[in-house]
Amino acid sequence: MATPEKIFELIAEHTTDLVCIHDSENTIRFATPSSKSILGYPAHEIIGKKLTDFLSSDFIDEMDFTTLKRFFDHPETRIRYQVKHGRGQLRWLETTFTYFGKNPQKDFTLLTSTRDITESVHLTDDLMAALSKEQEISRFKSNLYSIASHEFKTPLAVIQANIEMLRIKRSEKVLNNAIGSIEEEVDRLNSMIADMLELKKLTTGQTTFRPDLLDLEELVKEVLEENIRKAYPDTDIQLKPAKKPEKIRADYTLLRFVITNLLGNACKFSDKKDRVIVAVEYDEEDVKMIIQDFGIGIPEEEQASVFKSFYRAKNVGTVQGTGVGLAIVKEFVDLHKGKVGLVSSPGEGSTFTVSLPK
């Protein structure tokens, strides 16, 4: 039968946790050979040091000094922290502390047992990310249902009312009015559904970013002619041409969405007879698209929120929408490493500026 000394020696030699004995100053006086795998240094190199000497600079930056000191000077049961391993990688460790009674010898005050928990920390991070993605999707779904039941109902009600009317009377005038109005509402429904699908693609990571050389001003013209002027025939939309047009690298589909949404909003939140001014300007590094309207404007306290999905400002009145367009615009501009600026004043109008690096 081995002696108790031999048994302790065997345990110390073979433990996979790092076991250390510290003096009253927390300095390591004894360490098991497992320090080589846990901290990346052989036991004799960590003697005379403190566990805090191995903390990663990122971890130190994140904690304030008093918390850090309390952490190691009056440890409760266990602490988790990040160290720079001898081989240079960052590792997460967990240490438990045990004091040797009330009146310990000066050099032998405290026993610590330390284990590498990097893998479980990463696993937890991955799980948390998956969970928050899951929560985001579930919030998205519940918002979608409430939008669907409110906003989609209005155009459907208009379509329904027109059909009822046609059942009663089918004169040429009624027929033309009803068809016009049904077409308008179908377009509205289509664009709401398109916004929703785009947002779904974004939240589920299916949006693709394929930049190519394109002329921003040409794209603005295309959107104006193909979409906006048809939908808002009474709005006076002026395009101020760029002085020196250049091609930029951007994703055609994503930018087309950005322009359609911002121009559509500018018209939608303006009086029909109002003006909308669009300008494309190039400077040294960026290209800017400036869209100015003279419509209802956005209250200052809501200007940051309008870029969140499903948010609609309080002054929208009966103007229909889902509140997702600007959230998508922001994400799409972010993908281009650009910025969206907003200056707005209620009752006077809004100016949205999209800056994209050339």
Q: Does 155 bind ligand ADP (CB under 6 A)?
A: no
d(CA 92, CA 83): 6
Residue 20 to residue 112: CA distance in whole angstroms? 5
Angle between helices 153-168 and 172-203 (to 10 degrees): 160
User: Does the footprint of ligand ADP cover residue 321 (CB under 6 A)?
Assistant: yes
Q: How far is the CB of 211 from ligand ADP (least distance, A)?
A: 24
Residue 228 as a binder of ligand ADP (CB under 6 A): the answer is no
44 vs 314, which CB is nearer to ligand ADP? 314
Beta carbon of residue 348, minimum distance to ligand ADP (angstroms, whole number): 10
Does 261 participate in binding ligand ADP (rule CB under 6 A)?
yes
Cα dihedral value 50, 51, 54, 55, nearest 10: -120
Q: Is 259 in the site for ligand ADP (CB under 6 A)?
A: no
Examine residue 338 and tell whether it contacts ligand ADP (CB under 6 A): no
Shortest approach of ligand ADP to residue 86 CB, angstroms?
Answer: 52
Tell me whether strands 18-22 and 236-240 are parallel, antiparallel or unpaired. unpaired
Select from 293, 338, 340, 355 the one that contacts ligand ADP (CB under 6 A). 293
Instruction: Name the one residue in this structure whose structure tokens are 């020196």.
Output: 244
Residue 97: beta bridge partners? 112
CB nearer ligand ADP, residue 150 or residue 169: 150
Q: Give the closest residue to 336 by CA, choosing from 356, 354, 358, 312.
A: 356
Q: Count helices and strands (H / E) in the chain.
A: 12, 12
User: Which of the stretches 140-148, 199-207, 282-290, 296-304 binds ligand ADP when contact is defined by CB under 6 A?
Assistant: 296-304
The C-alpha atoms of residue 342 and residue 303 are separated, in whole angstroms, by 8
Q: State which of residues 43, 228, 263, 266 lies at the interface with ligand ADP (CB under 6 A).
A: 266
Shortest distance in whole angstroms from residue 245 CB to ligand ADP: 25
Residue number with CB closer to ligand ADP (91 or 312):
312
- Helix runs in the chain, H state only: 4-14, 35-38, 43-46, 57-62, 65-73, 118-150, 153-168, 172-203, 216-223, 229-231, 252-268, 325-335
The residue range among 3-11, 27-35, 245-253, 259-267 that interacts with ligand ADP, by the rule CB under 6 A, is 259-267
Nearer to ligand ADP, 46 or 147 (CB): 147
Q: Which is nearer to ligand ADP, 127 or 157 (CB)?
A: 157
Q: CA-CA distance, 153 to 151, in Å (whole number)? A: 5
- 293 vs 88: CA distance, rounded Å: 56
Q: Does 235 bind ligand ADP (CB under 6 A)?
A: no
Please tell me whether residue 97 binds ligand ADP under the rule CB under 6 A: no
- Indicate the residue among 20 and 254 with the shorter CB distance to ligand ADP: 254
Closest CA to 262 of 238, 278, 281: 278
Instruction: Give the Cα separation of 58 and 67 in Å (integer).
Output: 15
Q: Enter the tokens of residue 154.
A: 């209005």
> Are 51 and 31 in contact, with CB atoms under 8 Å apart?
no
Tokens of 300: 């200052």
Determine which residue in the list 350, 354, 355, 356 makes contact with ligand ADP, applying CB under 6 A. Answer: 350
- Counting contacts by CB under 6 A, is residue 298 touching ligand ADP? yes
CB–CB of 309/196 below 8 Å?
Answer: no
- By beta carbon distance, the residue nearest ligand ADP is 321
Find the binder of ligand ADP among 40, 86, 155, 295 (CB under 6 A).
Answer: 295
Among 40, 86, 155, 323, binds ligand ADP (CB under 6 A): 323
Verify binding: residue 279, ligand ADP, rule CB under 6 A.
Answer: no
Choice between 83 and 258, CB closer to ligand ADP:
258
* Interface with ligand ADP (CB under 6 A): 261, 265-266, 269, 293, 295-298, 306, 312-313, 316, 321-327, 350
